[in-house]
């Protein structure tokens, strides 16, 4: 087996051994189950919200913590003395975290539909597009945290500190209608707010708002490039 695929295999085992993976799966599932019984059949707002929590936790908490820890422990540096570059490990991690976010989302969709009679996603292609663009935008923020944090612990702290205001602004903690108008408007354009709205639109069958997708793409590109630019390997 070549270095890259073996790396992917070992890293996926490590991802599943990481308690934060269970946490990132359990929290959105818990929210869905607790509040799910109070929703009317066909509702897709709560499922979209739980999916946003899952991707937010993976992107803002798992991605930066893992990468900054790998740098802090000298794992990236050690790899650069082997024929496999540390960039390979970085790519493997981002792909695995993306797959993990996708699996967590799939579980949430299944539980929503099967147990809480949520409607089936109305427009699957639009939903996958929203998922990929939104996840890229959120991961870019995570990568930026990893690039700037001095240690794994610091990355973890920044991730958590950033998650709560973003979750609040993104309407994950209370309905948008209950927020001051200005905050609600700002919140619509934060990564988590955009993701939640775009997923909800696609799931419920509302018209796709191209502006939301475009902003997410810009976030992914601009923040991702900045992060890649300032990322230190050691």
Partner 1 sequence: MAVIEVNDLVKRYGRLPVVNEVSFSVEQGEIFGILGPNGAGKTTTVECAEGLRRPDSGSIKVLGLDPVRDRRELSHQVGVQLQESLLQEHIKVWEALDLYASFYRAPKDWRELLEEWGLADKRQARFATLSGGQKQRLFIALALVGDPKVAFLDELTTGLDPAARRITWELIKRIRAAGVTVVLVSHHMDEVEELCDRVAVFDRGRIVALDTPSSLISAVDADQHLRFRPLAPFDDAVLTGLPGVVSVTRSGNRVIVAGRGDFATAVTSALARDHVPVAELRVEQHTLDDAFLALTGRTFDTQET
Where does this chain bind partner 1 (CB under 8 A)? Answer: 1-3, 6-7, 10, 13-14, 17-18, 70, 73-75, 77-78, 80-84
In the complex, the smallest distance separating the C-beta of residue 74 from partner 1, rounded to whole angstroms, is: 3
Cβ 75 to partner 1 shortest distance, Å: 6
Residue 16 vs residues 8, 22, 31, 76: alpha-carbon distances, Å? 12, 8, 21, 20
Residue 207 DSSP code: P
φ, ψ of residue 124 in degrees (nearest 5): -65, -45
Query: What length does the chain have?
Result: 234
Q: Judge residue 231's burial from the number of C-beta atoms within 10 Å of its C-beta, 0-12 exposed, 13-18 middle, 19 or more buried.
A: middle
Phi, psi for residue 43 in degrees, rounded to 5: -60, 135
Report the interhelical angle of 191-204 vs 45-57 (nearest 10°): 140
What is residue 171's DSSP assignment? T
In the chain, % helix, strand, coil (3-state, to 5) comes to: 80, 0, 20
Report the residue number, 43 or 72, with the smaller CB distance to partner 1.
72
Given the complex with partner 1, which of 10 and 218 has the nearer CB atom? 10
By beta-carbon proximity to partner 1, the closer residue of 14 and 173 is 14
Distance CA 106, CA 94 (A): 18
CB atoms near residue 226 (< 10 Å): 15
Q: How far is the CB of 90 from partner 1 (least distance, A)?
A: 14
Q: How far is the CB of 231 from partner 1 (least distance, A)?
A: 17
Q: Is 80 helix (H, G, I), strand (E, B) or coil?
A: coil
Residue with smaller CB distance to partner 1, 85 or 208: 85
If the CB atoms of residues 7 and 212 are measured against partner 1, the closer one turns out to be: 7
Task: Identify which of residues 74 and 205 has a Cβ nearer to partner 1 in the complex.
Answer: 74
CB of 67 to partner 1, least distance (A): 12
Closest CB 5 distance from partner 1, rounded Å: 8
Instruction: In whole angstroms, give the CA distance from residue 85 to residue 233.
Output: 11
């Amino acid at each position: 087996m070549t270095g890259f695929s073996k790396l992917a295999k070992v890293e996926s085992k490590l991802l599943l051994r990481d308690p934060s993976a269970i946490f990132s799966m359990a929290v959105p599932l818990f929210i869905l189950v607790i509040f799910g019984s109070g929703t009317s059949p066909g509702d897709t707002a709560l499922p979209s919200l739980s999916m946003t929590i899952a991707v937010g936790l993976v992107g803002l908490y798992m991605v930066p913590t893992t990468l900054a820890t790998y740098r802090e422990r000298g794992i990236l540096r050690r790899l650069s003395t082997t024929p496999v570059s540390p960039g390979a490990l970085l790519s493997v991690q981002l792909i695995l975290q993306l797959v993990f976010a996708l699996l967590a989302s799939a579980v949430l969709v299944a539980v929503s539909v099967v147990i809480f009679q949520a409607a089936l996603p109305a427009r699957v292609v639009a939903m996958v597009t929203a998922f990929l663009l939104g996840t890229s935008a959120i991961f870019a923020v995570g990568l930026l945290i990893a690039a700037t944090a001095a240690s794994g612990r610091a990355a973890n702290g920044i991730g958590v500190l950033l998650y709560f205001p973003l979750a609040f602004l993104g309407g994950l903690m209370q309905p948008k209608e209950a927020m001051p108008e200005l905050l609600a408007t700002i919140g619509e354009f934060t990564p988590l707010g955009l993701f939640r709205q775009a997923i909800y639109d696609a799931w419920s069958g509302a018209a796709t708002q191209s502006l939301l997708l475009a902003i997410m793409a810009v976030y992914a590109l601009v923040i991702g490039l900045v992060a890649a630019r300032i990322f230190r390997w050691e």
